[in-house]
Every structure is written in C-alpha cells, then in structure tokens.
Structure 1
Amino acid sequence: MKISDLIITPLAFADPPLLNSTGVHEPLALRTVVQLVVDGGLVGLGEGSGEREVLDRLELVRAAIIGQSVFDTSAIELIVAAVLGPDVTPLQKRAVFSIIEVACLDAQGKLLGVPVVDLLGGAVRSEVPYSGYLFYKWAGHPDAVADGWGEALDPAGIIDQARRMIDLHGFRSLKLKGGVFPPDEEIAAMRALAGAFPGMPLRIDPNGAWSVETSKYVARELAGVLEYLEDPTLTTAAMAEVAAVASMPLATNMCVISPETVPEAVRLNAVQIVLSDHHYWGGLRHTRELGAICDTFGLGMSMHSNSHLGISLAAMTHVAAATPNLAYACDTHYPWNSLDDVVTTPFEFVDGALAVPAGPGLGVGLNEAKLAELSRRYVESGRTTRADTAYMRLVDPAYDPTLPRF
C-alpha cells in the first residue's frame, strides 16, 4: 500500500499555568497532528511537536514520501534524513520522522487488523501504569479566571493537587516538576507528599536547575523518600558526580537523548534510569531498540512526557506495553490537557493505568470537528513556538532562567 498524501494540521489547545525551571506554560500549547493517507483512503494518525520548524520540515518531506510503501519505514526514515539535509540535527530529524512513523504504524495496523503493539513484538503487559504529574502552578493565567485545579505554590497546595490527581485517576506514583522554588521548599513538598501518601513512589524533576553541590544536598535530604531523582543537574559528567553519592537512582531525559550519548553515561555511571520518549528517539521502533540498549547495560527505563493529546498517549501506551524492561510508571501530561483531546473517545485511567488499546492500529479515532476547532485556534493565536520564559516575564520582567538557578 502506497502513501498518497500527508495532511499536516497544527493545533493550539488549552494549557494551565504550570511552573517549571524556565518559566511557565502559556494559555495555549502547540501540537501537530498528521493524517497519512494510503491508497483506498485509509488514514494513519500521528502526533508531535507544534513548533513552526517541525511543521516546516514536515512540509519539506511530504512530497518525498508520497508514493512510498506505508510498510517501508526504514526507507522513509532515510528519505526524511536526505530531504532535511546536513544542516538539520539528528535530533531534529528524529522529531519529524517519529510523527510520520507512528502514522505509518497506525495505518499498518489498520490494514492488517492488529494493534500497533503487535507490530512492535507483542504486549508483555496488558496495561501500562502512569504517574501523577504534579506542578507548582498559579490559580489561573493572568487576567483570567481561576482554573479548576487552583493554586499550588507550597506543600499544602501540592498535597491538594496530588489528592485530586489520585481521586480522579487512581495514580499509584507521583512526580513533582521542581526547579521552581529554592530547594528547601521543594524538599519540604516531597516530605509532605511522603507523609500524606505513605509508601507512594515519589520523584522530583528540576530539569537541571540545581548545581552539583545543591543536587548532592537534595539527594541527602531526600534519602529514603524518592523512588528516583530526575535530572537534578546539567551534563553527564555533573550527573556522575551526584550519582556517586546519591542513595537513590538518577534518571534522565536530558543527558541521554540518543544512542550516541549512552556510552559516556554508562562509563561514568551517571544515570541508572533512562526516560524514553518516542518523539525524541525517532519513533516507536527506535524506542523499543532503546529498551534493548538499556537492558544490555543494566539501566532501568521509564518514559518522559510533554504536553500532548490522545494520539501520542496511545502511541506511548503501545510502545510501553511492548518494552519488557520499561518497569517504572510512565510520565504523562494528559490529565492537564485531556479536555481538548482530538480523539473520539478520550482516555480514562483506571487505578493510574491504561489498558493497551485493542486496535486495530493505535486504537483511536479522530474527532474531525475538534481538530478543526483547535486548528482555527492555532491560526487565531498567531503563535508559532513555545515561550515559557517570555510568558513568565510578562509577570516578572526580571525573571532569569539561566541554569543552574540554585
């Protein structure tokens, strides 16, 4: 079956004011949905970054993949690399190919009448656990009414947010996005979570906002509290210094981002858990390969998340179900963004987990009316890129995102 078209639709959907080490989420998050059409009109769905540069690159490769077999993703990957050329980095090429590859796998599954997980080697688990993703946040965006989640700027607010996440979705592990407030305040929040939810696996991710010395301090203070500590500091070498004294594993999606970055991390014992992300690693099959690499070197594996909708969540669930050593609950932003989903039946977590969609393909349909609505919102917004720092500076003009912050 040949590819006859690639329909590329940029979207803008509602996002709360979630704080992080570089600023705060804007009222609208950007995303791209592709519809890959094959002979006969069957459509495969893909989702990825909504950055303008990604859209432009998708447009560049669109004509080149038309006429290719939907089953020949290796050839399509080579075409993407060749069309984008040497000035585009491998990471940027993978971000483009991953969207197309997921759409190809969705189409393949529909053609064969099987779920995508079967195309990845079959399911080793029937459901995939996810972690409740907690954020410091404002009550609402400036000049807007408070959202339903309310304010979370201290341990009490984080506890309230966690309790609501658990009540709504049944999450059995929790992660806090850190790097926002001085470390002692975030240490207090993690201790408060441990006290409120005894035995709950806990994580914190400051996105490299801490120096090596601060990271060591936090690791000491949270010994016995954390399941793992994610990206406390920048660079593989700095992570290795922290790992040498930390009692808990270190996890990363910032210093191990490609096969080429694995050897140094292993040599230095800088990380013990790699956070996969098919949007960055070049699709579902390459993510499955990452699982084999981690298994070879005795590294644990979990999954990173960014603001996303249900097509990405379906893809994440299929690949997590097919990766034996992806043994930690996966990250997801979905509870923050699900009200604007473009799938016909939004996902519902049961006890913090998702059953693997039965298929065929990804097992999701496309809500055409919602797609059109979010596409119009994208055009009307005039937005083309994510700008957490610029948005924060509307409230705090002196805000400095330089890392490490503490």
Structure 2
Amino acid sequence: MKIDRIETYILKVPLGSERFFSSQAEFPERNSFLVKLTSTDGLVGWGEGGQYGPAEPVKTCVDEVLGPKLLAMPDAAPGLVWETLYAHTRDFGQKGTYIEAMSALDIALWDLTGKSLGVPVSTLMGGRFRDSVRAYGTGGYYTSTTFDPVADVAALQTEMERYASTGFTMLKVKIGLLPVRQDAARITAVRKALGDDFSLLADANHAYNASTAVLMGRTLEREGFELFEEPVPPEDREGYARVRAALDVPIAGGEAEYTRFGFRDFIGGGCVDIVQPDICVCGGISEVMKISALASARNLRVVPHVWGSGIALSAGLQVCSALPLAPFAYEPVPLQNEPVIEFDRTRNPLRDELLTTPFTLQDGRVLVPGGPGLGVEVNPDTLERYRVG
C-alpha cells in the first residue's frame, strides 16, 4: 500500500454559553486535527490528533515534515511507517506535537489497512473479545471558577441524575479546580444523588501535589469511588507512587504520556493501577498495542482515554474491543477487569455530527463498528462546516 495524497483539517466549534472548566483550563471551544490519507488504489483512511492544545502545530508537523516523508515511502504499512517517522524525528520529537501528528497518521493507516483487507481494525489487532464496550459518561465540569454551595451542588446533582436517566451506569466527575473541602462537598452530593450502587469515577486533571491528592482521595474512598484519575502532574512519578501507596481507590493516569518509552517508565515507577493512553496522543494504535503489552506484563488494566471527535471514539472502541480481560476471570466486570470507554457528555458536534452514523448509548454500552477499518464514515458537510484550516 502506498499513499497518494494527504489532506489535513483543523476543526473548531465555539461553545458560547456552554463553555466549561476543568482544573486546568477554560474550554470555550471544541477543536481537533484530522488527517485524510488516500492510497494509490483510491481507498481513504481517517486519523485524529492534536485535540489537547492548538491544532495548528500538529498540522504543520504533518504538512511540512512527516507527510512528505510518508508520501515518499513505497510501503505505508503502519508499523513500518511509525518506526521510520519516529527515527526521523527522534532528536527533536519524542513527546508532544510530533507524536500527536504521528498518532493521527498511524490511526489513518490502520483504517486504510483494514479497508484494504476488508476487516475491522480490531481483527488486525488480534480479534475481538467484545462487540460492545461499557461506557462511562464524563461530566460534572465546572461552569465557573467560583463556588455556590447550594446552587452549584444542586445543579451538579441534576446534571449527573440526567446522565444516569439516559442509561449510564458509570459516570466520571471533575475535581481539582476548587479547594478540597468544596470539591469534597460536590463529590458527596453526587454520591447522595445517585445512590451507593452507582459506579463513580473522579478526574483531577493533575491539580494536586501528593499530600493534597491523598487528602482528596480520602473523600473518594469514603464515597466508594472506583477510580482517581490524574491526581498529580504527569512528571511527578514519585508523587503518583506516593498517592497510590496511601490510598485504596485505584489510581489512573497516562493521557499526557507518550509512546511505549514514556509508559515504560510510568508503569515501571509504580505510578498507576489503570493505564490510560490516549490513542490520538500517545502514538496511535501501533503504540497502544505496545503500551498494552507493557501493562499486561504488570497485571495492570488499560482504559484508553478519549477526548476528541467521532474518529477518536471509533479508534478507542476498536482498541477496547481487542483488549483481553486484565486479569482474566470467568465473568467480565466493567472497569474491574474489563475495559470501559470514555463517552464525554459535554457539547461536541465533532463527536456527535461528524460521522454519518453517530455513536449512541445502548443499555449502558456503545457498539463497536463492524465495518472495515475503523468502521465509520465522515460526513463531508459537517467536515466543511467546522473546518477552519
């Protein structure tokens, strides 16, 4: 397979009054970077990257550095391309923008390869363990940087109850923007609203140092939360290990880590119980397979992080369907040993409108596309509507 044409797209959707906050930033828009690869036999593959920060640098990496190299290659097999491009940029691109660009290209190449062979990406990865994946809804973001102990808590409870009423059995709440005491009140309110048997997760977006994370983690333990995501900054591996040793709630992280080399040290440092590579960031499907092998060798769970368009979600579903139980048990238990998929609930037309057949929740799960490659098709009208570059 040889690539004949590379097209790149920056997509942006202003959120207006629906903007929201995590512990780290305001989100006034949703954006992403997509790449479209066309092979010499006319097949098309789609990939995604660059949805964390500005997409423009990622686009430049593809347009000016990686793309010309890929077009010159006589064989565009994903593994061959990944190793060639990484070696070409190793001296200046081991993390960050270049790896995000490689992620987009790699996902598109897997999509193309699956289409050329007439099989889903999950088949190329070794086969499916499941045809649908339990979804957890991500919500509970902050609507402002201030805290009203009555109005804000009531609004949060209403929001999470609304998600639960649509079929979710697992939800993730944001923490870290406010003082621990105020965030603890939010956490307690969500548990009260949804009951003791509902699966709840929390995500701090690396807002804390180790001691503060442990303090917050005590509330999560008391309220029976099943995951504490990114308690400390990604560089603070000693802090991760300290938090993990002090708490019983499973510690998760990895969305801000890159390639198997970064995850080798992250996992080796005893940082997490649950490994969360973002397929559109860490190096694509090729690297997620290697990262998953590293996690398996340590008996750790892998739950891919998803934050992007329908392309990102389709890649996450293909990967989740091909991950074995970790560890194996006669019956799968979502999150305990079976992979789950992130299904963000903030407004995002790039997730909900970009594909000709959007993803929906069915009995708390999302079906894995069964068509060749990623199994999805992009709506050209939506693509042009939100394209800015």
Pick the TM interval, shorter chain: 0.7 to 0.9
User: Could you tell me how far apart the structure 1 residues matched to 2:227 and 2:364 are?
Assistant: 19
Go from structure 1 to structure 2 and tell me whether the alpha carbon gap of 1:266 and 1:40 turns closer, same or farther (over 3 Å shift): closer
How far is the alpha carbon of 1:335 from its aligned partner? 5.3
Go from structure 1 to structure 2 and tell me whether the alpha carbon gap of 1:63 and 1:175 turns closer, same or farther (over 3 Å shift): same
User: Could you tell me how far apart the structure 2 residues matched to 1:31 and 1:321 are?
Assistant: 24
After TM superposition, the score normalised by the length of structure 1 is 0.82
In structure 2, the residue matched to 1:142 is none
Go from structure 1 to structure 2 and tell me whether the alpha carbon gap of 1:350 and 1:372 turns closer, same or farther (over 3 Å shift): same
2:366 matches 1:366: no
How far is the alpha carbon of 1:280 from its aligned partner? 2.3
User: Could you tell me how far apart the structure 2 residues matched to 1:213 and 1:239 are?
Assistant: 11
Maintained 8 Å contact 1:207/1:232: yes
In structure 2, the residue matched to 1:277 is 278
1:37-116 paired onto structure 2 within 5 Å: 37-49=38-50, 51-60=55-64, 61-68=66-73, 71-84=76-89, 86-116=91-121
Return the letter of the residue paired with 1:217: L
In structure 1, the residue matched to 2:180 is 183
Maintained 8 Å contact 1:8/1:55: yes
SS state at 1:46 partner: strand
How far is the alpha carbon of 1:70 from its aligned partner? 5.9
Q: Which moved more, 1:47-56 or 1:251-260?
A: 251-260
In structure 2, the residue matched to 1:164 is 162
Maintained 8 Å contact 2:199/2:225: yes
User: Could you tell me how far apart the structure 1 residues matched to 2:345 and 2:186 are?
Assistant: 23
User: Could you tell me how far apart the structure 1 residues matched to 2:318 and 2:171 are?
Assistant: 22
Go from structure 1 to structure 2 and tell me whether the alpha carbon gap of 1:360 and 1:265 turns closer, same or farther (over 3 Å shift): closer
- Deviation track 1:246-275 (CA, whole Å, cap 9, x = no partner) reads 121111126754433445555553321111
Return the letter of the residue paired with 1:190: I
Return the letter of the residue paired with 1:247: D
How far is the alpha carbon of 1:156 from its aligned partner? 1.7
Maintained 8 Å contact 1:131/1:173: yes
How far is the alpha carbon of 1:78 from its aligned partner? 3.3
In structure 2, the residue matched to 1:17 is 19
How far is the alpha carbon of 1:227 from its aligned partner? 0.2
Return the letter of the residue paired with 1:66: L
Maintained 8 Å contact 1:304/1:332: no
Maintained 8 Å contact 1:258/1:281: yes
2:211 matches 1:209: no
- Deviation track 1:343-377 (CA, whole Å, cap 9, x = no partner) reads 111111112321110111111112111111111xx
How far is the alpha carbon of 1:66 from its aligned partner? 1.5
Return the letter of the residue paired with 2:3: I
How far is the alpha carbon of 1:46 from its aligned partner? 1.1
In structure 2, the residue matched to 1:345 is 357
The alignment's C-alpha RMSD in Å is 2.3
Maintained 8 Å contact 2:140/2:174: yes
SS state at 1:12 partner: strand
* Structure 1 unaligned regions, length at least 5: 140-151, 380-406
Go from structure 1 to structure 2 and tell me whether the alpha carbon gap of 1:272 and 1:212 turns closer, same or farther (over 3 Å shift): same
User: Could you tell me how far apart the structure 2 residues matched to 1:7 and 1:256 are?
Assistant: 27
In structure 2, the residue matched to 1:243 is 244
How far is the alpha carbon of 1:75 from its aligned partner? 2.5
Return the letter of the residue paired with 1:186: D
User: Could you tell me how far apart the structure 1 residues matched to 2:361 and 2:75 are?
Assistant: 32
2:313 matches 1:309: no
In structure 2, the residue matched to 1:389 is none
How far is the alpha carbon of 1:79 from its aligned partner? 3.5
- Deviation track 1:364-394 (CA, whole Å, cap 9, x = no partner) reads 112111111111xx25xxxxxxxxxxxxxxx
Match of 1:192 among 166, 189, 213: 189
SS state at 1:202 partner: strand
Go from structure 1 to structure 2 and tell me whether the alpha carbon gap of 1:335 and 1:356 turns closer, same or farther (over 3 Å shift): farther
Return the letter of the residue paired with 2:19: P
Return the letter of the residue paired with 2:372: P
Go from structure 1 to structure 2 and tell me whether the alpha carbon gap of 1:74 and 1:175 turns closer, same or farther (over 3 Å shift): same
2:227 matches 1:228: yes
User: Could you tell me how far apart the structure 1 residues matched to 2:98 and 2:162 are?
Assistant: 39
SS state at 2:341 partner: coil
How far is the alpha carbon of 1:42 from its aligned partner? 1.5
* Structure 2 unaligned regions, length at least 5: 145-149, 327-336
Go from structure 1 to structure 2 and tell me whether the alpha carbon gap of 1:74 and 1:222 turns closer, same or farther (over 3 Å shift): closer
How far is the alpha carbon of 1:276 from its aligned partner? 2.0
User: Could you tell me how far apart the structure 1 residues matched to 2:177 and 2:151 are?
Assistant: 10
After TM superposition, the score normalised by the length of structure 2 is 0.86
SS state at 2:48 partner: strand
SS state at 1:276 partner: coil
Return the letter of the residue paired with 1:13: V
Go from structure 1 to structure 2 and tell me whether the alpha carbon gap of 1:120 and 1:266 turns closer, same or farther (over 3 Å shift): closer
User: Could you tell me how far apart the structure 1 residues matched to 2:376 and 2:121 are?
Assistant: 11
Maintained 8 Å contact 2:12/2:32: yes
Q: Which moved more, 1:329-338 or 1:206-215?
A: 329-338
In structure 1, the residue matched to 2:369 is 357
Maintained 8 Å contact 1:70/1:104: no
Maintained 8 Å contact 1:273/1:300: yes
How far is the alpha carbon of 1:127 from its aligned partner? 0.6
Go from structure 1 to structure 2 and tell me whether the alpha carbon gap of 1:272 and 1:174 turns closer, same or farther (over 3 Å shift): same
Return the letter of the residue paired with 1:327: E
How far is the alpha carbon of 1:334 from its aligned partner? 5.8
User: Could you tell me how far apart the structure 1 residues matched to 2:239 and 2:86 are?
Assistant: 32
Q: Which moved more, 1:328-337 or 1:275-284?
A: 328-337
